[in-house]
Structure 1
Amino acid sequence: MNIFAGIMIPFLGTTAGAACVFFLRGELKPGVQKAFLGFASGVMVAASVWSLLIPAMEMSGNMGKLAFIPAAMGFLLGMGFLLLLDTVVPHLHMDADEPEGAKKSLKKSTMLVLAVTLHNIPEGMAVGVAFAGMMAGSHTISMTGALALALGIAIQNFPEGAVISLPLREAAGQKKAFVYGMLSGIVEPVGAVVMLLLADQLGSSLPYFLSFAAGAMLYVVVEELIPEASEGSHSNIGTMGFAAGFVLMMVLDVALG
């Protein structure tokens, strides 16, 4: 029951953020969006380091000075996986005029949702592989540590749900905008469940999966979140948001891990 609740926490964060369409009148101000994007970046970077990469290297401690190999290889594979998705999946980023990925005649709202969905895939995998590691008996990942990761991702999903839903309200209406925002997060529990189903088969490959999720998340941070948070004037707002998110996730992981 704790595991089911844990994998649903990030999805609930996205859903709560999407519900902002019902009680916020206008769109988020640019400064607020920068703060949220920076905050999400900080959470994801800290989660990648403390909750994924460090445990991956600790699990490979029997390799001695070569303990970095599984973490490095998984990290690069995760980066490559998101690069592939970014190339083949049609999507549109906020405030962008031209869509990215494969050329498809999709609605703007659909491509906006797909853009956020791409962000959420590695987050779901990260939560799932953390719980899978705990189930597999890894001494480097505890139940509270996995829950801390899920909670940190849920916190940064709240503004993400608002950022995707609010701009869609005028074109699609409140209810549809809420549903679109909520659905952008559905891949998180799905990805987590896939990782849980593989828990018994992971074995010695667990460090690769942990670092794979880290690489996928950091691809999103470096490719999209940080550039969007730094664009235009007052980029220092995004920087301060990053600091807040990083420290919060670090505290959660160390205090609850």
Structure 2
Amino acid sequence: GVMYAGFLAGNTQITAASALVLSLGIAIQNFPEGAIISMPLRAEGESKGKAFLGGVLSGVVEPIGAVLTILAAQLVIPALPYFLSFAAGAMLYVVVEELIPEMSQGKHSNIGTIFFAVGFSVMMTLDVALG
């Protein structure tokens, strides 16, 4: 939605082809995401149709969000850096807290997450400051 909003707003760096390629990449990524939802539902005894519907519904929010983003492009584009920063931070949190299990174990599991965030922030600050 953001790519199409930028294209429709006349950003010369965004082409229709690049917006389409990004959309296709997201659509391809939705297939395994839907399977991750559908397969456990089927294994728990749901019918094939209900399991498939659950997988489809897990991805239906993305096109809705894209349309809403295009409609609200004038409001979204100026705030885009902040939205993307928030999304990146949320994804980093998920990676650190859920996908690196050793860091999340033990009595003081939040210390690893906090120091990862501090280290990442220092490195990003140095990257921006030193070019």
Structure 1: distance between partners of 2:11 and 2:56: 33
**Number of the residue aligned with 1:148:** 21
Larger relative CO (CA 8 A, sep 6+): 1 or 2? 1
**Number of the residue aligned with 1:131:** 4
1:148 Cα offset (Å): 1.7
**Number of the residue aligned with 1:14:** none
Structure 1: distance between partners of 2:65 and 2:94: 16
Please tell me the root mean square deviation across aligned C-alpha atoms, in Å: 2.5
The letter of the residue matching 1:162 is A
Indicate yes or no: 2:58 matched with 1:189: no
Cα–Cα, structure 1 residues 216 and 196, in superposed 2: closer, same or farther, change >3 Å? Answer: farther
The letter of the residue matching 1:151 is L
What is the TM-score with the length of structure 2 in the denominator?
0.61
Structure 2: distance between partners of 1:150 and 1:222: 27
Of 48, 54, 72, which residue of structure 2 is paired with 1:198? 72
1:201 Cα offset (Å): 3.0
Q: Deviations over 1:110-141 (max 9, x none)?
A: xxxxxxxxxxxxxxxxxx11211111122232
What is the TM-score with the length of structure 1 in the denominator?
0.34
The letter of the residue matching 1:180 is G
Structure 1: unaligned runs, 5 residues or longer? 1-127, 228-257
Aligned length: 100
Q: Are 1:165 and 1:181, in contact at CA under 8 Å, matched by a contact in 2?
A: yes
1:180 Cα offset (Å): 0.8
Q: Percent identity?
A: 65
The letter of the residue matching 1:201 is L
Secondary structure at 1:172 match in 2: coil
Secondary structure at 2:14 match in 1: coil
Cα–Cα, structure 1 residues 189 and 154, in superposed 2: closer, same or farther, change >3 Å? Answer: same
1:165 Cα offset (Å): 0.4
Of 28, 41, 50, which residue of structure 2 is paired with 1:176? 50
1:223 Cα offset (Å): 4.4
1:182 Cα offset (Å): 0.7
Structure 2: distance between partners of 1:131 and 1:188: 13
1:209 Cα offset (Å): 3.7
Larger Rg computed on CA atoms: 2
Cα–Cα, structure 1 residues 138 and 224, in superposed 2: closer, same or farther, change >3 Å? Answer: farther
